[in-house]
Amino acid sequence: MNVDFDRIVHNGTIITMGPKSEIIQNGFIGIKQGKIAAIGSSIGEEPLVSATETIDAENGLIMPGLVNTHTHMPMAMFRGLADDLPLDTWLNEYIFPAEAAHINPENVRLGTMLSCAEMLLSGTTTFCGGYFFEDHVADVVAGVGMRAVLGQGVIDFPAPGVPDPQNNVKAAASFVEKWRDKSPLIRPSIFCHSPYTCSQDTLKNAKTAAETTGVLFQIHAAETKNERQMIQTEGLSTPVQFLKDLGILDGQTLLVHAVWVDEEDIEAIKENGSSVSHNAESNMKLASGIAPVHKFLKEGIAVGLGTDGCASNNDLDLLQEMDMVAKLHKVNTLDPTVMDAETVLRMATIGGAHAIGLGDMVGSIEIGKEADLIVIDTDQPHLTPMYHPISLLVYAARGSDVRHAMVSGTPLVRDRKLLTIDETGVMKKMQKLSRAIAVGGGSAANV
Ligand SMILES: [Zn+2]
């Protein structure tokens, strides 16, 4: 093979997650201009292949970077601040007041940077989410070099950065306008908090703004039994039917959670081509319930995994989330064949990429796709022996096993060292900020 590559990743087992789910032993991947240019089963005639850099996977696993379909990056600053509470108490008595007191551009940047560090070190290269001061989130993420679909949060009460809720949709639309062509790594989006914190007019206007610009519309929906009851007491049917009747369900809508859904709701999601973000650990921690994910998948609905924000999980480790997802659905259905390892890994990679509209770009190792790759170090007691690589990943691997990570062929983690983030400095600043949050004083940090 007489080809020059910018980079080669070789000497590992490649889990492609392509349409045929090929697993390639002793594989190599050639990268040119940020894209996957060659995939093979050995490095071939080495003298004829040259590259600026060669990354040796040392018999580990080479796979697509993980895709986290739902999170709130800056909320890393509230990790462990208030646990073991019901969602409404947690939100109204702790999270919303803490956000009102501490969310400012500097803290948002610091929380985002910490989340980027945690995600990259645990194998996530792409994520989707939204928050306030999203312009600052996007700026930090683009600077770090990660890929993301980001939405400025829309909510019908005074929010950080948008004191007058009358301007919430306008602020979200300006964010989209600003980031439309600003960075190849950032896809802007519109993120409405939920059907119970946004009025019908807000929801419709926000969806119209998303449609006009052709961007993804994200919304927490059918998360808790309480939400469903609230909507029903207003004489409406279910959160999903409510959104359907407003004209919000379509192929550009991502429903986050979708726990309290019935057969008719599932049909509506399927008919309208909407996708779902499954946040098992967050739903477990807040005791919200268990989304009927196997039914979604059976209906061909695109489903991805999400960690949700750090305050309700309390980490962003998708490898750990996968293990939890596989086991949760088995015990819930009393069927060990439900949610097999490959199905779960699909949701964490290509399934998630499709759910957020990036399926043609990332989520699998295929020629022409972006070289968003991670390498897992399997030379460890808890990952030995390896009969089935995918089983090993889902049931035994954890975030700390990720050794290298790259986005569009650019290395962001090498030998577990972050290349674009000052990890120690970020943690130090966050420790300082957390002391201020704990005493309710608030503080600005600079990143
Ligand atoms: Zn969320």
Report the separation in Å between the CA atom of 308 and the middle of ligand 1, taken as the mean of its atom positions: 5
- Identify which has the larger pLDDT, 298 or 45: 298
Residues with CB under 5 A from ligand 1 (ion): 308
Do residues 210 and 187 touch, judged by C-beta distance below 8 A?
Answer: no
- The angle formed by the CA atoms of residues 75, 77 and 83, to the nearest 5 degrees, is 80
Is the pLDDT reported for residue 94 higher than 90?
no
Q: What is the largest CA-CA distance in the chain?
A: 72
What is residue 68's predicted lDDT score, i.e. its pLDDT?
98
Task: Sort strands 35-40 and 417-418 into parallel, antiparallel or unpaired.
Answer: unpaired
Claim: this prediction has a pTM higher than 0.75: yes
Mean pLDDT confidence for 2-31:
93
Is the pLDDT reported for residue 439 higher than 50?
yes
Report the separation in Å between the CA atom of 400 and the middle of ligand 1, taken as the mean of its atom positions: 24
CA distance 254 to 274: 6
- Mention every residue, 6+ apart, whose C-beta is less than 8 A from residue 436: 102, 442, 443
Is the pLDDT reported for residue 441 higher than 70?
no
Report the separation in Å between the CA atom of 306 and the middle of ligand 1, taken as the mean of its atom positions: 9
Report the separation in Å between the CA atom of 309 and the middle of ligand 1, taken as the mean of its atom positions: 6
Burial class from Cβ neighbours inside 10 Å (0-12, 13-18, 19+) for residue 91 reads buried
Report the separation in Å between the CA atom of 89 and the middle of ligand 1, taken as the mean of its atom positions: 15
Report the separation in Å between the CA atom of 200 and the middle of ligand 1, taken as the mean of its atom positions: 20
What is residue 35's predicted lDDT score, i.e. its pLDDT?
98
CA distance 362 to 125: 10
What is residue 446's predicted lDDT score, i.e. its pLDDT?
34
Report the separation in Å between the CA atom of 379 and the middle of ligand 1, taken as the mean of its atom positions: 35
Report the separation in Å between the CA atom of 365 and the middle of ligand 1, taken as the mean of its atom positions: 29
CA distance 181 to 407: 18
What is residue 89's predicted lDDT score, i.e. its pLDDT?
87
Do residues 280 and 305 touch, judged by C-beta distance below 8 A?
Answer: yes
* E strand intervals along 266-310: 275-278, 303-305
Tens digit of each residue's pLDDT (9 = 90 or more) over 384-432? 999 999 999 999 999 999 999 999 999 999 999 999 999 999 999 999 9
Beta bridge partners of 219: 192, 255
Report the separation in Å between the CA atom of 150 and the middle of ligand 1, taken as the mean of its atom positions: 13
Tens digit of each residue's pLDDT (9 = 90 or more) over 44-63? 555 457 788 999 999 999 99
What is residue 107's predicted lDDT score, i.e. its pLDDT?
97
Report the separation in Å between the CA atom of 61 and the middle of ligand 1, taken as the mean of its atom positions: 31
CA distance 374 to 445: 31
